[in-house]
Each structure stands twice: as structure tokens, then as C-alpha cells.
Amino acid sequence: MPNRIAIIGGSNLFNSELVKNMKEDRVITPFGTVEIFIDDHTMLIQRHGKKNVPPHAINHKANIYAVKSRDFKKILAINSVGSLKPYIKPSEVCLVSDFISFYNIVTVDPNKRIHITPQLSEDINLKIEECLGEKFKRVVYWQTTGPRFETPAEIRLMGQFADVVGMTMASECTIACELGIKYASICVVDNYANGISDTNIDFDEFNKFVLKNQQTVDKILKELVKCQFS
């Protein structure tokens, strides 16, 4: 089944209408157990788990290994990001072309020399645009460690080299590439990063933006599945 795809999303993914016709299951991996919803073509993983663990505590190894263990070859991730550029506005949808992630670099096996060069799948990006009938900005994603937000000085530095900032995507992409799985990310901008606008972001405001953008995410996923992207 060449069109099978795993979708990894945020804390509200399991509230999506997609789960209504899918089977709930658990995948036991060498790195932990992963809760999933699955059918013949699509697999859903809520990256934070049902307990909604914070970004720095996400078990990326288990999540991505669960995808591999069910023989899915492609991952589509939905990532919430902050904008590093005034012209990339909240609620905008972007596709990732590359990323920067210097710290806490994950690997599926720390005892082996796995010298890979992570990359995003442009084939999946083009399929997303074909399915949705729209062209999207390609952005460079800067991953921070979390759980805190970034300082305005950090944002000024990041903005010289990247377009959006988040805490999860680069780790997922790295593990996926190590395991031979194609990976692409749809980024939904939830806020301007600190210092980009006049209002500094806090956790409560961030959550409001995430919930507001959930309708956009649900619509995107529904359309992708409808056109048999999965």
C-alpha cells in the first residue's frame, strides 16, 4: 500500500473527526508504548501522548519507531510554531524545507555512529499542495529545547537564519530519517515569537492560539484524507 501515511500531531489530534472511523490501538516499542488510531491507510499519533507531556519530555524514539513497526514509510507532521518574521502571520500555514537544531540532538541508537543528513521530503510537500490546491511558503524551522519560550535576544538571533521556531519537529525528522521514513511538516503559526510584535507571548495566550488554529488543522487533515493523500 504505497499511499499509507502516518500523521503525527499535537495535543488535540485525537479529538479530530478522523478517529471516528479508526481503530484505537497500542504499539509496544523498545522505547515505550505508543497510543495510536489506525485504519488501512492512515495512522495517527498524538506526539505528547494522552498525558500531554511537555515538549522536552516527548518520547520521539517510541513515536517514530511505532510508525516503522506498522510498516508505514511516510510521516506527515502537524507542528505549532512561532513566527520569526513579521510577514509570516499567526494562523498562516507553511511547509518546512530545512531546519536548525544544535542541542539535545536525538538518535535512535546512541551506541552506533549513524551519520545521516536529515532532510524534509519535498515529494510529500508537493503532494500536500496538489491535494489542497494551494501553494505554501517554504520555511526554515529552528528547534529549541523547551519547555520555556525564547527570549527576545534569542529570537533576534534565530530570525537571522530561520523563519519559524518550535520545540519538536527537528527531533522527529532526525529519528524518521535514521529509520528510513520520509518526513514532511505542515507548520501552523500560532503566534509571533517574543520581540517580533508588541505583545509578548505567554503560555495561556499560546494555548488560545493553538485552540483557535485547531479548526484549520482539522480542515487540512480532512482534505488530505479526502483526496486519498493517505
pLDDT value, residue 100: 97
pLDDT in tens, 76-134: 999 999 999 999 999 999 999 999 999 888 998 888 888 889 999 999 999 999 999 99
Q: Which residue has the higher pLDDT, 166 or 21?
A: 166
Q: Which residue has the higher pLDDT, 197 or 85?
A: 85
Does the structure show a pLDDT above 90 at 227? no
Mean pLDDT estimate for the chain = 90
Q: Which amino acid is at 21?
A: N
pLDDT in tens, 168-196: 999 999 999 999 999 999 999 988 998 88
For residues 142 and 83, the answer to whether their CB atoms sit within 8 Å is no
The residues with which 29 forms a beta bridge, in sequence order, are 32
pLDDT value, residue 110: 83
Q: Could you tell me the CA-to-CA distances from 10 to 7, 28, 45 in Å, in that order?
A: 10, 20, 9
% of the chain exceeding 90 in pLDDT:
67
- Where are the domains positioned within the chain? 5-226
Averaged pLDDT, 127-146 = 95
Averaged pLDDT, 141-164 = 94
pLDDT value, residue 111: 82
Radius of gyration of the chain (CA): 17
Quote the CATH superfamily of domain 5-226: Nucleoside phosphorylase domain (3.40.50.1580)
- Identify the weakest region by mean pLDDT among 7-16, 37-46, 138-147: 7-16
Q: Mean pLDDT highest for which of 13-22, 47-56, 58-67?
A: 58-67
Element (H, E) at 28: strand 23-29
User: Distance between CA atoms of 150 and 157, rounded to whole angstroms?
Assistant: 11
pLDDT value, residue 211: 67
* C-beta neighbour count of 25 within 10 angstroms: 13
Q: Could you tell me the CA-to-CA distances from 34 to 25, 60, 75, 181 in Å, in that order?
A: 9, 10, 16, 18
User: Distance between CA atoms of 184 and 49, rounded to whole angstroms?
Assistant: 20
Using 50, 70 and 90 to split pLDDT, how confident is the model at 137?
A: very high
Q: Which residue has the higher pLDDT, 46 or 227?
A: 46
If 0-12 CB within 10 Å is exposed, 13-18 middle and 19+ buried, where does residue 199 land?
exposed
Averaged pLDDT, 58-76 = 97
The set of cell numbers assigned to 160 is 537571522
